């Protein structure tokens, strides 16, 4: 029965599991590349006869290349867990109505959990294997860039490692399966009547531990930022990643409690632009939990981007140098990877939300709404989501940078050339519009009556 439920869910929720597979593929690719680079940057190279020369070892040690590889590997694993858990959790949440009905007709909790575990394996195993292969190609590009920027000696050639395969499988498959089981655990244990009610209305409250942990993460980020402000500029800059992570974890845990008020402010401004904008405003305000799942990854993109770029542009403005060319290049590569993780999570979540609302779109068409009006509503919703993410991401970036910049340069405000925030805002808006509009456009092409009768 569990296998039958799993395949039925895969057929009924294809976009959700395509999104999960894409997230697992990207995660596996980055983890594979990071694992291979860890072996490539090691000063102890058993694959080279006689090992690396003394000069090569000295260059690797002075540049701290091995430490960078470890940090990037740990960061990529963390981001992989974040993205896969977020995407798989949303995919399982979309099945709550179907799972509640199955529970009502006699399915046992363990059968529900086994079904979502099979779904996770079907999405993640092929993605992990493909990601391992793509990671090898990515690692070669990464290695060439490090050699070109003087971070690695030319004699430290690229080293392919099969060790990356079990690491990819472990991160992608284990994380996806655990995320599916945890997402289904509480719901599978509810009484069938309660499960049906919650599937229809959604869960209104945060978990018992979620709010305290979120507050603790935000408080920890503030405390670490204050401590870093008392350190030398170079050491303080190395700790910004931890502050960013704590802020973003706090935002993710608190979710609707933070996103809701920010979205209310943004939507109040948007709602002045006509009926479609007002409808979008009401949609976002009425479903803060659903939209917060899409906003939080975007907050990560904006926060990471503004913080990392702002540190280098501010240093360039005050001292005339953004740092060593190789160090800056590697920092931007890492920032791009983290932003890619978060962008995939946000796009997947927005696409799933739009697909889940295909019945609402069909109903709007049946009562006489024109296609242009529906598309305009979706575009305004995307604008509210993007605006909320930009507002919260900018606040996180400022909170991260202010203590450090005050100590280093006497001013809490970063120096950002106008193309940087403009490009970031444009990219965020385009991502939200495309991820929202594509499923809506697909739904609009079909007859609304069958959609209403089959969903």
> Which residues are within 8 A (CB) of 132 and not within 5 positions of it... i.e. 6 or more apart?
28, 32, 164, 165, 168, 169
What confidence tier does 9 reach under pLDDT thresholds 50, 70, 90?
A: low
Q: What is the pLDDT of residue 171?
A: 83
Q: What is the pLDDT of residue 257?
A: 74
- Kindly give the residue spans of alpha helices, DSSP state H, lying in 320-414: 325-356, 358-366, 371-409
Q: Measured between alpha carbons, how far is 285 from 71 in angstroms, rounded to an integer?
A: 39
Which of 20, 6, 13, 98 has its CA nearest to residue 347? 20
Asked whether residue 19 carries a pLDDT value surpassing 70, the answer given is yes
- pLDDT given at position 201: 55
**Least reliable range by pLDDT among 21-30, 45-54, 78-87, 310-319:** 45-54
Distances (CA, A) of 333 to 36, 75, 415, 426, 431: 16, 12, 21, 20, 20
Across residues 374-383, what is the average pLDDT? 81
Q: Per-domain residue ranges for the chain?
A: 1-203, 205-455
Q: In the numeric block, which tokens belong to residue 108? A: 């046992």
Q: Using an 8 Å Cβ cutoff, are 136 and 32 in contact?
A: yes
Over residues 408-437, the mean pLDDT reads 87
Q: Is the dihedral of CA 442, 447, 448, 452 positive or negative?
A: negative
For 41, the enclosing helix (H) or strand (E) is none
**Confidence at residue 335, expressed as pLDDT on a 0 to 100 scale:** 80
Average pLDDT rounded to a whole number, residues 178-203? 66
Over 60: is that where the pLDDT of 375 sits?
yes
Residues 350 and 290: beta-carbon distance below 8 Å = no
pLDDT band at 78 (very low <50, low <70, confident <90, very high): confident
pTM of the predicted model as reported, rounded to 2 decimal places: 0.78
Question: In this predicted structure, what is the pLDDT of residue 40?
Answer: 80
Quote the pLDDT of residue 130. 92
Percent of the chain clearing pLDDT 90 (strictly above) = 2
Closest by CA to 413, choosing from 300, 327, 317, is: 317
The mean pLDDT value for 367-373 works out to: 73
Higher pLDDT, 64 or 194: 64
Token pair, residue 234, equals 């170079």
Q: From CA 291, how far away is CA 399, in angstroms rounded?
A: 24
pLDDT band at 442 (very low <50, low <70, confident <90, very high): confident
Residues composing the chain: 455
Q: How confident is the model at residue 437 (pLDDT cuts 50, 70, 90)?
A: confident
Lookup: tokens for 161: 């490692």
Q: What percent of the chain has pLDDT over 70?
A: 80
* Sign of the C-alpha dihedral computed for residues 14, 16, 20 and 26 taken in this order: positive
pLDDT class for 23, splitting at 50, 70, 90?
Answer: confident
- As a whole number of angstroms, the distance between CA 372 and CA 201 comes to 29
The pair of three-digit structure tokens given for residue 357, joined into one six-digit string: 């609302």
Residue 246: exposure state from Cβ atoms within 10 A (0-12, 13-18, ≥19): buried
The whole-number pLDDT of residue 205 equals 58
Distance in angstroms (rounded) separating the CA atoms of residues 45 and 228: 36
Per-residue pLDDT, 96:
67
* The two structure tokens encoding residue 172: 């992608």
Which pLDDT band, with edges at 50, 70 and 90, does 134 fall under? very high
* Predicted confidence (pLDDT) at residue 10 exceeds the cutoff of 60: no
pLDDT in tens, 306-348: 888 888 888 888 888 777 777 888 778 888 887 887 788 788 8
Judged against a pLDDT cut of 70, whether residue 170 lies above it is answered with: yes
């Amino acid at each position: 029965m569990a296998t039958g439920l799993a395949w039925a869910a895969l057929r009924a929720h294809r976009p959700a599991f395509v999104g999960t597979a894409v997230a697992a593929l990207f995660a596996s690719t980055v983890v594979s590349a990071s694992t291979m680079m860890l072996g490539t940057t090691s000063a102890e190279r058993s694959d080279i006869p006689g090992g690396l020369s003394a000069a090569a070892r000295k260059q690797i040690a002075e540049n701290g290349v091995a430490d960078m590889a470890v940090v990037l590997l740990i960061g990529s694993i963390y981001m992989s867990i974040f993205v896969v858990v977020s995407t798989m959790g949303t995919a399982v949440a979309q099945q709550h109505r179907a799972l509640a009905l199955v529970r009502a007709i006699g399915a046992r909790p363990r059968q529900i959990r086994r079904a979502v575990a099979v779904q996770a394996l079907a999405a993640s195993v092929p993605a992990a294997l493909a990601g391992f292969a793509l990671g090898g190609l990515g690692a070669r590009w990464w290695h060439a860039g490090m050699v070109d920027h003087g971070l690695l000696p030319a004699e430290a050639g690229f080293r392919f490692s099969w060790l990356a395969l079990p690491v990819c499988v472990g991160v992608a498959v284990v994380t996806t399966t655990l995320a599916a089981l945890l997402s289904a655990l509480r719901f599978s244990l509810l009484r069938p009547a309660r499960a049906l009610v919650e599937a229809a209305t959604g869960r209104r409250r945060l978990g018992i531990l979620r709010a305290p942990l979120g507050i603790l993460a935000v408080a920890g980020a503030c405390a670490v930022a204050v401590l870093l402000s008392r350190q030398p500029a170079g050491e303080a800059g190395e700790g910004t990643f931890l502050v960013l992570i704590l802020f973003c974890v706090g935002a993710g845990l608190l979710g609707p409690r933070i996103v809701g008020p920010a979205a209310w402010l943004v939507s109040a401004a948007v709602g002045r632009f006509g009926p479609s904008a007002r409808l979008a405003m009401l949609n976002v305000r009425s479903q803060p939990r659903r939209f917060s799942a899409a906003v939080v990854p975007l907050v990560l993109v904006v926060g990471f981007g503004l913080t990392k770029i702002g540190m280098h542009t501010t240093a360039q403005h005050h001292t005339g140098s953004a740092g060593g060319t190789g160090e800056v290049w590697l920092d931007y590569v890492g920032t791009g990877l983290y932003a890619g993780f978060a962008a995939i999570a946000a796009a997947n979540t927005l696409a799933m939300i739009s697909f889940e609302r295909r019945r609402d779109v069909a109903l709007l068409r049946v009562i006489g709404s024109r296609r242009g009006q529906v598309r305009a509503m979706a575009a305004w919703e995307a604008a509210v989501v993007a605006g909320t993410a930009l507002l919260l991401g900018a606040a996180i970036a400022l909170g991260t940078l202010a203590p450090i910049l005050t100590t280093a340069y006497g001013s809490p405000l970063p120096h950002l050339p106008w193309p940087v925030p403009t490009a970031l805002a444009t990219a965020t808006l385009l991502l939200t519009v495309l991820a929202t509009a594509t499923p809506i456009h697909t739904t609009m092409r079909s007859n609304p009556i069958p959609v209403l009768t089959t969903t």
